[in-house]
Amino acid sequence: MAEKIKLINDDGLRTDGRKPDELRPIRIEAGVLANADGSAYLEWGANKVLVAVYGPREAQPKYLQDPMKAIVQVNYNMAAFSSEERVRPGPNRRATEISKITAEALENVIITNNFPRASIDVFIEVLEADAGTRCAGLTAAAVAVADAGIPMTDLVAACAVGKADGQLLLDLGKKEDNFGEADMPIGIAPRTGDIVLLQMDGDMTQEEMRKALRMGMDASRKIHELQTDALRRRYAVNFADMDDGEAVQ
């Protein structure tokens, strides 16, 4: 049983000073790696995540190939130095689970039918972790896939909604994640509003769950703006390079 600590103060503010429906600061850059087909770097509060995308390329080994569509393979990895305690290198149950749900979320928006027998490989490296890395990774991965020029019906913007001290909170921080009553990561395709990732740890009533989904939807719109802005900035720089080498601000 986790120890009880106060996560909301008498003014209704959280331990890091945020309001219940406030996101941590998010910064996204697209196209940060020269050797990948697509890439993105994202800072979300104290989380730092780097994503590289390769493909579509021939799926290897061949038995993995789907004659009808591309497969999406995700490798989520926490760097050994990403947490206060050293993270053991290599795959583990949690990384395998996060890789799987991230791939399934991306399959909803990537037009995989265009690339039979191919693989789209997504590498998510968590450089610093501070709760919410699966949502940060998925949000950055969607930008990196778009940056690779892979056709998509939509991006995916993800954010966790949880509960602490009996109150719904957007974008759980580390203490809220550790000591709160519920954690519900939500991934949304912002254009259609389709939910492409939904997990739940802890307890919520049906009414709380409805409200949490609405909070997640609102957040996904804000995150989507940051994603499209990162992609726009990326292409603005490229056009400027073609003109006179000066970046357009």
Burial class (CB in 10 A: 0-12, 13-18, 19+), 102: buried
Reference 180, options 137, 134, 212; nearest CA is 212
3-state secondary structure of 101: helix
Q: Which of 177, 194, 218, 228 binds ligand CDP (CB under 6 A)?
A: 177
Reference 190, options 218, 220, 225; nearest CA is 220
| Residue nearer to ligand CDP on the CB measure, 48 or 174 | 174
- When asked if residue 77 is in the footprint of ligand CDP (CB under 6 A), the reply is no
Compute the C-alpha angle 239/42/29, nearest 5°.
10
Q: Which of 65, 73, 75, 83 binds ligand CDP (CB under 6 A)?
A: 83
Q: Which of 56, 132, 162, 173 binds ligand CDP (CB under 6 A)?
A: 132
Q: Which of 130, 147, 165, 208 binds ligand CDP (CB under 6 A)?
A: 130
| Residue nearer to ligand CDP on the CB measure, 119 or 133 | 133
With CB under 6 A as the contact rule, which of the stretches 53-61, 62-70, 99-107, 123-131 interacts with ligand CDP?
123-131
Compute the C-alpha angle 117/121/124, nearest 5°.
165
- When asked if residue 131 is in the footprint of ligand CDP (CB under 6 A), the reply is yes
- When asked if residue 179 is in the footprint of ligand CDP (CB under 6 A), the reply is no
Residue with tokens 């292409």: 235
With CB under 6 A as the contact rule, which of the stretches 15-23, 62-70, 124-132, 235-243 interacts with ligand CDP?
124-132
Residue with tokens 């993800």: 158
Where on the chain is the footprint of ligand CDP (CB under 6 A)?
A: 78, 83, 87, 94, 129-134, 174, 177
